[in-house]
Amino acid sequence: MAQKLFLLPGDGIGTEIMAEVEKIIAWLNSQGETEFEIDTGLAGGAAYDAHGVAVTEEDVQKALAADAVIFGAVGGPKWDSVPYEHRPEAALLRLRKELAVFANLRPAICYPALADASALKRELIEGLDILIVRELTGGVYFGEPKEITDLGNGQKRAIDTQVYETYEIDRIARVAFDLARTRGNKVHSADKKNVMKSGVLWDEVVRGVAKDYPDVTFEHILADNCAMQLVRNPRQFDVIVTDNLFGDILSDTAAMLTGSLGMLPSASLGAPDPATGKRKAFYEPVHGSAPDIAGKGIANPIAMIASFAMALRYSFGMVTLADRLENAIAAVLADGLRTGDIAQDNRRTVGTEEMGAAILKR
């Protein structure tokens, strides 16, 4: 039976890097390796320009009906003054919420070929392999009230609400502990329980879950200390589970440490459907839409392709194919091919298409 992929390239370099994924899908289908059925929609500024919203109702429905959504990136200065509810990021937030993909997996790995590209000393990040498990559909991103009130006299009051319920923390913690078992067997849970009540509950629930995983090492860490320790000694971490906002910041920090930002994919997964066991899933690169280099054909497609590899692995159980694709990426890097963002002396700098083609060839 054909499997449905819904592609949302978005803005900026999103379309260019998605094109490389499309070529890979076409090739896989032509080889009879897969039977992907593809549909494509608009998201972010592209959707706003065409329809006046960050994502149309129709595209939300298509995303809900798909077996996996593959997302590029959204945003750019062109839409800086778009009304708040239609800003490009609204597409991302709406889709995450509608798909209920609460578990955002952000691997931060250091590709050996790129260890020197890190700001950190090589000996600190060589072999780095952290997985940030970020709660994605709760917290201050979605809590109500979320509003600005005019108080008169030139004064306004803005409110955002950080809210978590037990079940939300429980399910994300289980994802983290389950994944830790397939990796380094260690979970750090990061919060600010010393100042936030949501942190107190977060810690209470995660500690409860930890009891069900006696074989996994568990450590609590304050989010500010976690940010520090990521810089000081990142290899002490295996899996870090944290809330939506801390996850946003800590995963970006971790990604930047690796020196491989343009290379890092992410997967966002929902709960398994009780009937079919299938999870809604949303795959996107960690980097943004890079408006400064958009349209030049020089963007690095690796994070996008690696996100598709995560789709093969997590949504379709095509583990061998995912391995092959990931190995192809590592091999092309080892061959010395580089896009501009990771350019090095004595390595060949290529464009988006050539990088995509080289990976496909491998």
Ligand X SMILES: CC(C)[C@H](C(=O)O)[C@@H](O)C(=O)O
What gap in Å lies between CA 240 and CA 251, rounded to an integer?
Answer: 9
Q: Using CB under 8 A, pick the residue from 38, 100, 196, 360 that binds a copy of itself.
A: 196
Q: How far is the CB of 311 from a copy of itself (least distance, A)?
A: 24
In angstroms, what is the minimal distance from the CB of 153 to a copy of itself? 9
Residue matched to tokens 């694709």: 325
Ligand-binding annotation for 300, yes or no, is yes
Report DSSP letters for 325-362, one per residue: HHHHHHHHHHTTEE-GGG--TTSEE--HHHHHHHHHH-
Catalytic residue flag (residue 252): yes
Q: Which is the catalytic residue, given 116, 224, 273, 335?
A: 224
CB 220 within 8 A of CB 202: no
Binding mask 139-158 for a copy of itself (x = CB under 8 A): -xx-x--xxx--x--xxxxx
Residue 111 annotated among the catalytic residues of the structure: no
In degrees and rounded to multiples of 5, residue 355 shows phi and psi of -60, -45
Q: Is 192 a catalytic residue?
A: yes
248 is catalytic: yes
Stretch that binds a copy of itself, among 36-44, 113-121, 296-304, 342-350 (CB under 8 A): 113-121
Catalytic residue among 111, 141, 283, 314: 141
| 3 state SS for 37-101 | EEEECCCCHHHHHHHCCCCCHHHHHHHHHCCEEEEEECCCHHHCCCCHHHCCHHHHHHHHHHHCC
The least CB distance from residue 328 to a copy of itself, in Å, is 27
Q: Are 213 and 181 in contact (CB under 8 A)?
A: yes
- Catalytic (active site) residue 141: yes
Looking only at residues 224 through 253 of this chain, which bind a copy of itself when binding is defined by CB under 8 A? 224-225, 227-228, 231-233, 245-246, 248-250, 252-253
135 binds ligand X (CB under 6 A): no
* Residue 343 found at the interface with ligand X (CB under 6 A): no
82 marked ligand binding residue: yes
Does residue 224 interact with ligand X by CB under 6 A? yes
Which residue of 159, 195, 334, 343 would you call a contact of ligand X, by CB under 6 A? 195
Annotate each residue in 63-82 with x if it binds a copy of itself (CB under 8 A) or - if it does not, as one string.
------------x-------
Is 84 within any annotated ligand binding site? yes
Among candidate residues 11, 59, 248, 341, the one labeled active-site is: 248
List the beta bridge partners of residue 187: 218, 239
Element (H, E) at 320: helix 319-334
Rounded to whole angstroms, the Cα distance separating 262 from 264 reads 6
- Known binding residue 80? Answer is yes
How many other C-beta atoms can be found within 10 angstroms of the C-beta atom of residue 340?
15
Q: Is 84 in the site for a copy of itself (CB under 8 A)?
A: yes
Task: Give CA–CA dist 326/322, Å, rounded.
Answer: 6
- For residue 240, how far is the Cα from the chain centroid? 14
Cβ distance to a copy of itself smaller for residue 64 or 124:
124
Distances (CA, A) of 168 to 47, 132, 135: 31, 17, 8
Q: Which residues are catalytic?
A: 141, 192, 224, 248, 252
Binding residues for ligand X, per CB under 6 A?
89, 92-93, 194-195, 224, 248
Binding residues for a copy of itself, per CB under 8 A?
75, 84, 87, 89, 93, 119-121, 124, 140-141, 143, 146-148, 151, 154-167, 192, 194-198, 200-202, 223-225, 227-228, 231-233, 245-246, 248-250, 252-253, 255-257, 261
